[in-house]
Amino acid sequence: MTYRSLAGGICGGLLLIAGCANDVDSDVNFSSTAAATNGDPTDGASTGGMADGGDSNPGDASAGGTGGADGGSGGEDSGGEESTGEPVVDGMPCGGVDLVFVVDNTETMAEEQNRLISVASTFVSNLNGAIPSAAAGGFHIGVLTTDDADFKTTDRDNSPCGEFATGPWMSPGPDFPQTLACTLNQGVGGDPDGRPMDSLLGALVNAGSASGGGEGFLRDDALLVVVLVTDQDDAADPVEGGGSMGDPSEWAQSLADIKGFKQNVVVFSMVGHPAPNACPPFQWDGNTGAEIATRLLDFTERFPNNIVGDVCALQYSSQFNAAVDPIADACGNLAQ
């Protein structure tokens, strides 16, 4: 799989898989998009609750970037059926967006949570403006942690984060930025055995039915967007156990089965990926930097609409700004 890098002079820190962006000219400069959507605090600043404790990532302070050209993991690939095992078909504009943040709440994630909090509400606002059909149908926005399959409505101290009128998810409104910041502030006291795929699939498998706690979250005519933020892989330990059940192929197929088609899902993974990146030279020591998320990258690449970002970046605004257009493109071609 060959990554298309937008880091060098386009939008520091973001890599788009070629299959996701095969309609985008590689010379297109998204810097004007980032400038038009500025105002995001960087490097951990936040308008909402802040996590405490955790690591200190040295990284590249200038852009939080991933450097120049390909940061990929070998092979030539242009997306579509070759990369995902499923052809992309002509579809219709989506009627809404179901957005799930899966947030690592282990002890090394304080700074990364703060960076996410600082950009999340602006990211949703930019999506809302870029996707008229989704704006008309509305946004469902849920938050999960890597150790629990229940949608969150409280912060790390179990204090209520606001009104959740129709279910354990949010929609943009007057108090939305504060509610989202509160809900994303899940702290760093989670189970160190992170299982992001178990959390995601466990929450979504019944989210469109009356039997699930998230009843009504998933809608047939909505694009599903998964934003995963973690500094560790979801890796099964053959000696000690742990990690999510199954493997990347099974995770991807399970998610595709939930939505009917892989193209009806966007996976945006802010994880550790191969250099160039903003992690320390040693990459990961169990506390600082990020583990190369081999299995999560494999899972991500199995979707034609996929985005890989650098969790080590010292600011996330450029990466989230640059993700808006690919998500809007995916929302314009929902398979029926």
Pick the CATH number of 96-331 from 3.40.50.410, 1.10.287.610, 3.40.50.720, 1.10.287.130: 3.40.50.410
CA distance 22 to 334: 17
Determine contact, residues 303/252, Cβ cutoff 8 Å.
yes
Task: Dig out the tokens for 214 from the structure.
Answer: 């998230």
Secondary structure, 3-state, the chain:
CCEEECCCCCCCCEEEECCCCCCCCCCCCCHHHHHHCCCCCCCCCCCCCCCCCCCCCCCCCCCCCCCCCCCCCCCCCCCHHHHHCCCCCCCECCCCEEEEEEECCCCCCHHHHHHHHHHHHHHHHHHHHHCHHHHHHCEEEEEEECCECCCCCECCCCCECCCCCCCCCECCCCCHHHHHHHHHCCCCCCCCCCCHHHHHHHHHCCCCCCCCCCCCCCCCCCEEEEEEECCCCCCCCCCCCCCCCCCHHHHHHHHHHHHCCHHHEEEEEEEECCCCCCCCCCCECCCCECCECHHHHHHHHCCCCEEEEECCCCCCHHHHHHHHHHHHHHHCCECC
- The confidence score (pLDDT) of residue 213 equals 57
Place of tokens 């960087």: 42
- State whether the Cα torsion 167-223-7-33 is positive or negative: negative
**d(Cα 247, Cα 203) in Å, to the nearest integer?**
18
Find all residues with CB under 8 Å of 119, minimum gap 6, and list them: 40, 316, 317, 320
In whole angstroms, what is the distance from residue 314 CA to residue 278 CA?
A: 8
Write down the pLDDT at residue 31: 26
What's the pLDDT score for residue 243? Answer: 92
Residue 314 amino acid letter: L
C-alpha distance across the termini of the chain, in Å: 27
Residue 238, pLDDT score: 60
Sheet holding 265-271, edge to edge: 3-5, 14-17, 306-310, 265-271, 223-229, 97-103, 139-145
**pLDDT tens per residue, the chain (336 residues)?**
333 333 333 333 444 433 333 333 322 222 223 333 333 333 332 223 334 444 444 333 333 333 333 333 333 333 344 456 688 888 999 999 999 999 999 999 999 999 999 999 999 999 999 998 777 789 999 999 999 999 999 999 999 998 887 889 999 888 999 999 999 999 999 999 999 999 999 999 877 654 445 778 999 999 999 999 999 999 877 667 789 999 999 999 999 999 999 999 999 999 999 999 999 999 999 999 999 999 999 999 999 999 999 999 999 999 999 999 999 999 999 998
* 83 vs 77: CA distance, rounded Å: 6
- Angle (CA) 93-164-217 rounded to 5° is 35
| pLDDT confidence of residue 84 | 63
Sign of CA dihedral 168, 170, 175, 177: positive
The residue among 131, 123, 13, 84 whose CA lies nearest residue 302 is: 84
- Residue 137: its pLDDT value, please? 81
Rg of the chain on CA atoms, in Å: 18
